[in-house]
Structure 1
C-alpha cells in the first residue's frame, strides 16, 4: 500500500465505492491527495466514548485497568473497577463523566431507540413557510405557520413538516435557500413576524424587495419595545450567551461589508475582521453596539414566534406537532464558518457522487462538521446543532441522513466527480441523536426521520430501523427492479410515506409533465418525444399501482386523489402529504440543479389554508387521510 493510500485509509477516505447501480468505482490518487491536503486529521487524546444502555463500554488506551470514579449526569458518584479496558454497564442514559487520576472522559449512554410516533396511523402535511398566505405579508412567516398549524390540526393532522429555519444572511436577500444556511444554531430572522399586510401579495416572492422590507419592519418593532419586552429579551440574550453574541456580531459585520463592498461573507472582509477574536472585531462591536443588539433581538423575536407556532400546533390537536428540518451543512462563508471554523471541513464542499440523475455528480457548495473536530471537541458541535433543531419541535427530519455515516467531499473549486467518501463517526452520532431525541420537546421526546434517498450504503437502513429512526418512502421512488410501482401495502413500516418532496414534481405536475417542460425550457428545446413516451409509460404504471382498476383518467385531480389514498393505505405510521399535493397544485417548490432559471423557494399558495382546506376537493382528501 502506498503512503498516500495508507494516509487516506487512516483518515477514513474510501478509495473505492459502489454507485447507484452497484458498480465498483475508484477514486483517483489526485483526488485523494487534494482532499487529504485540506483535512486536519488530528483528533488529539480521546475525550469522549459512547455506549448502549445496559452494555459494557470499550474505553480508550489511555484508561488503565483498576479503579475509577463514575459521575452520573445527575451528580451521583460511584467507584467502579475497569477490567480489560471495559467500563461496566450503565443503566441510565445521558452524558456521564469517568475520572481516573488526572484524566477524564465523557461517557454518552444511549437509550435503545428514538421515540416513536403515537400509536396508530397518522397523517400530516409539509409546507414551505414563505409560501403561506396567512397574514397577507410579502411572504409567510412564523405567525403564518401558527395559523397553518391551527388549520391543519383542526382538520385532523398530527404533524406539520417544515423546511429548515436555520439562520441565513439577513443583509443579503439573494441567499434565500433554506438548505445553505449561515448557521444551524440560530433562526432565519426573515421569518420573524413584523410589518403590515401587503395589499396584493404577488404569486412569486420578490426576495430582493421583501427581505429588506422585513428587516426594516423588525427594526421598527425593536425600536418600539416596551420595558417588559426589553427585560424579557435581555434575559434571553444573557442565557444565550457568547454563541448569540458571535452570531449577532457576524450579522452586523456582514450587513456593514455587504452594504459597502457587496461582500458575500467573511473571506471577503478586510483581513483584520476575518477572525472573531481580533481586536478590530471588538472595536466594531463597541462602536456599533446597537446594531449588534438589534440582530440579537431579531433572533429572540424569531425564536419566540417559532415557539408560539409549535404551541399552536399542539393546542390544536397535533400529537407530534412541528417536524423541523436539519440541513446537512452550512455555507462556508457564513457565521459558523467565521466563528466555529475549527469545527468544519473548511476547503471542502459536500455533495453527491455521479449517478443516473446527475452524471457529473453534485456539489452543493456547502460544508459540514468535521469528523476529526467532533472527536477533538467531544462531539459538542453536533450536540449543539441537535439541540438547536430539536427546540420547539416534536420531530426532526435529517436532510441527507446518509451524511451521518459518510460524506461525499470535494475540494473547493473542483468538479463534483473529483470527490471521495469520508467516513463519519456513525455509531457515536447515532447514540447522541437518540439521547437528544428522547429529551426533546420538553421531555416528551421527538421522532427522528432520516432522508435515506440516493446511494444508500449497505446496511444503513437496517441500522436506522434498529435504532428507531424512520426512513422516507416517496411514491415516485417506490419501484421494483423492473421499474413497476410497488403496491402501497408492501411499503416499510419503518418509514414515513410521502407523495412527493420539495425537490420533485407534485403528483399533478408529474402527471402533466411539468417537470419535463421545465427542464426542456431551461435547455432551450421542446420536450423530446422519448421523454414524452417514457412519461406516458410511467403514468400507466403508476395508475396500475394506485388506480384500483379504474380507467386511467385524463385529468390529474383524480390521480392526486388516488395517490393520496394509496399513501394513506401504506403500513407506515405517518403519511406526510406536501400541501402542494393536498391542494392538487402543478408546481414544485424547488427544481434541483437550477438557481434562477426556475423560481425556487419563491412560490406562494393562492389562498390561506383554512379556506383551501374547506373546499370540497381538498376536504375529500382529508377525509381519506383521517380514515387511516
Structure 2
C-alpha cells in the first residue's frame, strides 16, 4: 500500500469497501486527500503525509479513555509503568489496585463497580467506563414477555382544541389513550431543538442540537394558557404555525416569568453552560436571521466564538431574549416529563421511546457552541447503492471520532442522557454510524465519500451504562447495508434491532414466518420512510413514484403495477400462512382486511417488542416522509384525521388494536 493509504487507514478511513451489491470499491486518492484534510491531516505532498502520519500515530498511541464490563480484566496499551495504582470511583471512594505488565500491554484487574471512574497508575491517568453485562431488555421492564406499542409522528397528532400541530400536551393525551388500550410503549418522532426563527426548517431529522428540545412542543396549558383554535386541515402550514406558536410562547413568558423565574434558573443551573450557550445561540440566530443570515457561519466574525467578548456583550444587552429561550426550554422539558408521567400512569411500563437523529445541522447550536465535538468540512450520508445510484449526502454533521476520544466521550454521554431524560427507551437512527459513517467532503458529491470508523466498543459500553441508569431499552435502526459482524455485536449488548414486515424475506424472496423473526428485535409494519400498508396495497407509492419522475418510461410503470399485483398475492399468502388472515384475497381498493391481518402478523412475531405506526393503526394511505424529496412531497406535514381518542373509539380501529394486543 502507498503511504497515503497507510495514513488513511491509521486515521480510520476505509480505503477499500464493498457496496450493497457485494462489489469491491476503492476510494480515489484525490478524495482521500480531501477527507484527510478535513479531518486535520493534510496529505497533499509526501512531506505532509509523513508529518500527518507521525501526528496520527502519536494520537493513536494515546489512551485517555477505556471501557470494560464489570468483573472483566481490562488490557490497556503500554502507556506507562506497572505498579500500584488507585481507582477513583465516580461516587467518591478510592480503591487501591495493582497494574500488571504483560506482553500485550498493561493489565488492570477486574472492577465490580459500574460507572465512569478515574484510574491513576504510576505515571498515567485513564478514565474508565465499567459497564453492566448488557443493556436492559423489554422483559426487564414490561409486564408482559412480549409487549406492544404505537409509533407516532408528534406534530401529526390532533387535539380537541384544534392546534396547528401536535405538541407535548397532545402527546400526553395520546400516551394515556394507548396505555389504557394495553400498549406498553409509545415511540415518538425526534423532539430535538430546531431553528424556531426560521419556519422553513421543520424536519425533525436536521436539528440544531440534540442536547435540547424543540421548544415549539411546549405545553402552554401547564401554565394555564390556551392556544386559539386554528383551521387545521390535512397538512400543517409550518410557515404560519411556527411564528404563531413562538408568539404564544413569548406571551406566556411575559405573563408568567415572575412566578417561574426561580424554577427556570434552577433548571439552567442543572443543565450548565451548555444550556446557557444554546439560549444565547437562539437569541443570536433570531437577531441575525431577521437580517437574512442563516446559521452562525453567516454572522459577523466576532460572534463565531461563543466565549468571545462580542457574544458576552450581546447576552448582556439581550438578556430578556436569552431568558425567554431558557424559559421555553424549561417549559418544554416540564411538558415532556408530564407526557412520560401520563404514559406511566396509564399503565405503560416503558412509556415514551425517544428518537435520536443521526446528526445535526452544522450551522446550528451544537456546532457553534462546541465545534470541537463535531466533524468539520464533512457531512454524513450513504454511498451509492441500488436505491440511490448517486449516493446520499444528508447535509448533516455529527461527532468526530477523535473529538469523542479527546473529550472522554462526554458529548455522546450527554446526548444519550438528553434523549433518555424523559423516556423509557431510545431509538438510535442509523445505528450503523456507531461502527462507521459515510463522510462526504464539502463541495463534493456523495459518491466522493468514504467510510470513517467509529469507536463502536466504547460506545456500546456507554449505552449499557446509560440504559441501566435511565431504566430504558435501546433500539438501533439497523436497516440498509449492515456491515458483516455488526448485528452480532449489537445483540451481544442487547441492543434491539428493527424487523420491518416488508423486509423480512429469505434468500428466495419469500416472507419469513413471524415466529422465525429474531427475538431480540422490534417488529414493525413500517417506518416513517416507507409506504403505509393501505398505501402499498392501493399502489399509492407507485403513484408518487410517477409524480416524482422516478420511472424511466410508461412501460416501467406498467411493469411496477404488474409486479405489485403479484406481490399482493405473495403477502396475502404469508398472512394466511401465519394465521393472521383467512379467505379470499381482498381487492386492491379494500385494504381493511390486510391492515387487520398485518397487525396480527407482526404482533405474533417472536420479537420482544412490536411497534405499529399510528398511520397503519388508523388505516392511512399517505406516508409521513418520502426519502430523497423536499418540497416535492409534503414531508412531516401530514395530520391524523382525528384526535387519538376519536380514532381509538372507532369500531374498526378498536378491533384492530384488540387483535394486536391478543396476538402479543
State if a TM-score over 0.5 links the two structures.
yes
Superposed CA offset, 1:371-402 (max 9, x none): 01111111111111111111111000000000
Q: Distance in 1 between the 2:565 and 2:432 partners?
A: 33
- Of 151, 154, 162, the residue aligned with 1:129 is 154
Q: Which residue of 1 aligns with 2:574?
A: 545
Q: Distance in 1 between the 2:25 and 2:545 partners?
A: 29
Give ranges in structure 1 of 5+ residues lacking alignment.
Answer: none
Q: Which residue of 2 aligns with 1:80?
A: 97
Q: Distance in 1 between the 2:603 and 2:637 partners?
A: 29
Secondary structure of the equivalent of 2:148? strand
8 A contact 1:478–1:486 mirrored in 2 = yes
Question: What are the residue-to-residue correspondences of 1:42-191 with 2, within 5 Å?
Answer: 43=59, 45-84=62-101, 85-101=106-122, 103-117=124-138, 118=142, 119-134=144-159, 135-191=161-217
Q: Which residue of 1 aligns with 2:365?
A: 335
Q: Distance in 2 between the 1:359 and 1:253 partners?
A: 40
Superposed CA offset, 1:136-165 (max 9, x none): 211000000000000110011100001111
8 A contact 2:213–2:333 mirrored in 1 = yes
How far the C-alpha of 1:550 sits from its partner, in A, is: 2.5
Q: Which residue of 1 aligns with 2:53?
A: none
Q: Which residue of 1 aligns with 2:14?
A: 14
RMSD, aligned CA:
1.4
How far the C-alpha of 1:60 sits from its partner, in A, is: 3.4
8 A contact 1:69–1:77 mirrored in 2 = yes
Q: Distance in 2 between the 1:539 and 1:412 partners?
A: 43
Q: Distance in 2 between the 1:199 and 1:214 partners?
A: 11
How far the C-alpha of 1:411 sits from its partner, in A, is: 0.5
Q: Distance in 1 between the 2:152 and 2:330 partners?
A: 23
Q: Which residue of 1 aligns with 2:24?
A: 24
Superposed CA offset, 1:190-226 (max 9, x none): 1112351424212110001000110000001100116
Q: Distance in 2 between the 1:269 and 1:73 partners?
A: 41
How far the C-alpha of 1:102 sits from its partner, in A, is: 6.0
Q: Distance in 1 between the 2:438 and 2:235 partners?
A: 34
Secondary structure of the equivalent of 1:225? helix
8 A contact 1:183–1:330 mirrored in 2 = yes
Determine if the alignment matches structure 1 residue 368 to structure 2 residue 398. yes
How far the C-alpha of 1:227 sits from its partner, in A, is: 4.1
How far the C-alpha of 1:101 sits from its partner, in A, is: 4.7
Determine if the alignment matches structure 1 residue 446 to structure 2 residue 472. yes
Q: Distance in 2 between the 1:239 and 1:113 partners?
A: 29
Q: Which residue of 2 aligns with 1:536?
A: 565
Secondary structure of the equivalent of 2:523? strand
Superposed CA offset, 1:278-301 (max 9, x none): 211111111111001101111111
Secondary structure of the equivalent of 1:550? coil
Superposed CA offset, 1:445-464 (max 9, x none): 10000000000011111111
8 A contact 1:40–1:372 mirrored in 2 = no
8 A contact 2:81–2:123 mirrored in 1 = no
Q: Distance in 1 between the 2:81 and 2:643 partners?
A: 64
Greater mean deviation of Cα atoms: 252-261 or 61-70? 61-70
Q: Which residue of 1 aligns with 2:48?
A: none
- Of 224, 236, 241, the residue aligned with 1:205 is 236
How far the C-alpha of 1:320 sits from its partner, in A, is: 0.7
Q: Distance in 2 between the 1:23 and 1:55 partners?
A: 39
Q: Distance in 2 between the 1:491 and 1:217 partners?
A: 48
Q: Distance in 2 between the 1:90 and 1:74 partners?
A: 14
8 A contact 2:83–2:121 mirrored in 1 = no
Determine if the alignment matches structure 1 residue 596 to structure 2 residue 631. yes
Aligned residue pairs, count: 623
Determine if the alignment matches structure 1 residue 2 to structure 2 residue 2. yes
Question: What are the residue-to-residue correspondences of 1:571-590 with 2, within 5 Å?
Answer: 571-590=606-625
Greater mean deviation of Cα atoms: 537-546 or 401-410? 537-546
Secondary structure of the equivalent of 1:516? helix
Q: Distance in 1 between the 2:264 and 2:248 partners?
A: 18
- Of 348, 357, 369, the residue aligned with 2:378 is 348
How far the C-alpha of 1:40 sits from its partner, in A, is: 3.1
Q: Flag the 1:317–1:592 CA change in 2: closer, same or farther, 3 A.
A: same
Determine if the alignment matches structure 1 residue 323 to structure 2 residue 357. no
- Of 424, 429, 432, the residue aligned with 1:402 is 432
8 A contact 2:82–2:122 mirrored in 1 = no
Q: Distance in 1 between the 2:451 and 2:649 partners?
A: 48
Superposed CA offset, 1:304-345 (max 9, x none): 100000010000001110000111100010011111111111
Q: Distance in 2 between the 1:96 and 1:457 partners?
A: 32
8 A contact 1:191–1:302 mirrored in 2 = yes
Superposed CA offset, 1:537-573 (max 9, x none): 2211111111345211111111111111100110111
8 A contact 2:82–2:121 mirrored in 1 = no
Q: Distance in 2 between the 1:148 and 1:108 partners?
A: 38
8 A contact 1:204–1:603 mirrored in 2 = yes
Secondary structure of the equivalent of 1:547? helix
Q: Distance in 2 between the 1:550 and 1:269 partners?
A: 65
8 A contact 1:94–1:435 mirrored in 2 = yes
Q: Which residue of 1 aligns with 2:44?
A: none
Q: Which residue of 2 aligns with 1:255?
A: 286
Q: Distance in 1 between the 2:271 and 2:520 partners?
A: 37
How far the C-alpha of 1:20 sits from its partner, in A, is: 1.8
- Of 446, 455, 458, the residue aligned with 1:428 is 458
* TM-score (norm. length: structure 2): 0.92
8 A contact 2:379–2:394 mirrored in 1 = yes
How far the C-alpha of 1:103 sits from its partner, in A, is: 3.7
Give ranges in structure 2 of 5+ residues lacking alignment.
Answer: 42-55, 221-225
Q: Which residue of 1 aligns with 2:51?
A: none
Superposed CA offset, 1:238-296 (max 9, x none): 222211110011111100111112x2201111111112122111111111110011011
